[in-house]
Structure 1
């Protein structure tokens, strides 16, 4: 069992997420035309001879700033180093994923042509993971080799619509898309998504530009059940945003640059990710994050093993290692997103380091029951829906 060093300061600022859908659609359309094989890969064609026993290595592709690092030597990653010492498995860790669509374009030619990607483990947002699962581009994991995943995975994340039973994916970190606001500048609380449309916020709010990132919270504000939303729910949401854009309520649509807008006071309220707000709160006690009364989206970015990965067992071992509560606690103390291992809370709570112990009480890392009751995992946009929905949303946003 790894011993967590919880004395390090928090050091993660998010670089999430992919913003568009046109790149994905274009890449897939190009690959499936002109004599190229159909995109879907049958279950029997996904695996390859596993070299794990003889070759104690593993290639792991992740986002930047999404793992613990050593203060004195940023090239060192303590939890990965501890895994290598324990297992003898050397992890080649790359921070090559900066955008879901971009990464899709990078590895999809190999997957569609039944070739190795050169990666044994990747982390992508669940809306993109849904596409990989539907296309048959990832392998089913052997849970008998992952007892900690089976025992410790947050029950609320266990069975998303795109991967029932989490057979092909395991959350790396989770998060909440809610509302951030400057309470001092606003002079009141925000409790509802509909508060964004109030007159005193005219021209002072931003929404996320990515369809997959934006739609769920806005639908929830209209009372939709996002676990089973419909075309009518989508139309209602789009009409609402179009109306608010015409009246000048929305300052602009953003990627992660909403962080700067909120920090500088250029906007007073915005759609936001929970982990970003934790970082903003370190610099300003005036910044608040709210899960609206109508609900907010709980999302995850998940670990997947691509087809034909040559070190599947090694990858499964690494995934299970990160579900040991002590290891999950060390990771959580750095990345500051919702920890998918609830038992890590007790590890942090018992820490002698005050900052680490305080994280155990932060509902944006370990949501309490009241907050959880308002969180939902949205049904993803299907391939049949995506082209029309993306076209309409991009026209609103101005992409």
Structure 2
């Protein structure tokens, strides 16, 4: 759809509201009253804009199915702001279902967005989307039980891990790290790279080296010790380490995927300017720091680190030194945003991947 057909008459000035759809447990809440969300409440108080906040996104494909009929038929979705994974953002951009944000109204985004996140292949300059939170797909392992370090993705294929390794089941979530393990530049991978990677993994499946393919339930396997190493998300590992300090997270020497779940304004959103204001609110370093200290993902606002470091609370200040929230320079040099799987190649790739995974 052409850009000029994507907008609706903006009601932001007369109707000081907006509807914001997000994932569960993905925003700060008050310790004493779970109905209060301090960073969101502060926005409402300061701007006079009332936010209807819904935790209705549990799966990218499920949510796509929920709102795509409206977008396909050039109808409003009833939502002014949504948060979806970047690989799904890519689909929305390609289909022309989201609006460009007015960066002149978002000075904090322009100033504070992490340069590492600025140029995904599907949306250079992030005109259509802005990261809500980011994360790393790497490797988590039990250092004490394994008795050695893991430094490379290929270390997962060693004999002492036969039957004690899990990989992520979702193709979009899993493929980039596994390609990087083959030495591929994931910003410009090819179909041959994908098939070479799946051939390697299929052989390991046949040998029963890989215990299973998982969703987020790998957390339980690692905690119980049934699994010694797993393809994992950085945010999950921070929580795991609270109960089990033997769990370590590694960005392999050959690299890991840096991903985001990003804010987007769907076509025909009725309160675009209010939505842009809210996005910019979360890029103020103080607000970004408050959110990061709660959700524990990679913060897309590096300037929030100094805010946390200056906290009088020891635990809060310690978050500024956590490389899984603020990756250090060495780690940042090994992170890359993967080129998305395109619409033409997706059916073929999904057939190969799902056949291997057993979906």
Q: What's the TM-score, normalizing by structure 1?
A: 0.90
SS of the counterpart of 2:243? coil
Alignment of 1:362 with 2:329, yes or no, is no
Q: Does 1:144 align with 2:112?
A: no
d(CA) in 2 for partners of 1:80, 1:223? 42
Distance 2:244 2:159 in 1: 25
Cα offset, 1:159, TM superposition: 1.1
TM-superposition CA deviations, 1:160-191 (whole Å, max 9, x none):
00001100000000000000000011001000
Shift of 1:219: 0.2
1:69-88 aligned within 5 A: 69-88=29-48
- 2:84 is the alignment partner of 1:120: no
Query: How does 1:336-375 map onto structure 2 within 5 Å?
Result: 336-375=296-335
- 1:177 equivalent among 115, 133, 137: 137
**In the aligned structure 1, how far is the partner of 2:60 from the partner of 2:223?**
26
Once the two structures are TM-superposed, the CA of residue 291 in structure 1 deviates from its matched residue by 0.2
Q: Deviations over 1:74-101 (max 9, x none)?
A: 0110111010000000000000000000
Written as runs of structure 1 = structure 2, the 5 A alignment for 1:247-266 is: 247-266=207-226
Matching residue of 1:395: 355
| Residue 132 (1) aligns with residue 101 (2) | no
Q: Which of the numbers 145, 157, 161 marks the counterpart of 1:197?
A: 157
| Deviation string, structure 1 residues 9-58 (Cα, Å, up to 9, x no partner) | xxxxxxxxxxxxxxxxxxxxxxxxxxxxxxxx222210000000000001
Unaligned segments of structure 2, at least 5 residues: none
Deviation at 1:366, TM superposition (A): 0.2
Structure 1 distance, partners of 2:26, 2:190, is 34
Q: What TM-score, normalized by structure 2, do the two folds share?
A: 1.00
Paired positions, count: 359
Instruction: Provide Cα deviations, 1:232-268, integer angstroms capped at 9, x if missing partner.
Output: 1101100000000011100000000001110111100
Question: Is 1:312 aligned with 2:264?
Answer: no
Partner of 1:167: 127
> What are structure 1's unaligned runs of at least 5 residues?
1-40
Of 111, 135, 148, 2:71 maps to: 111
SS at match of 1:92: strand
SS at structure 2 position matched to 1:76? coil
Partner of 1:380: 340
CA RMSD of aligned residues (A): 0.4
* Matches of 1:373 and 1:236, distance apart in 2: 25
* Aligned equivalents of 1:352, 1:67: Cα separation in 2: 22
Q: Distance in 2 between matches of 1:211 and 1:188?
A: 29
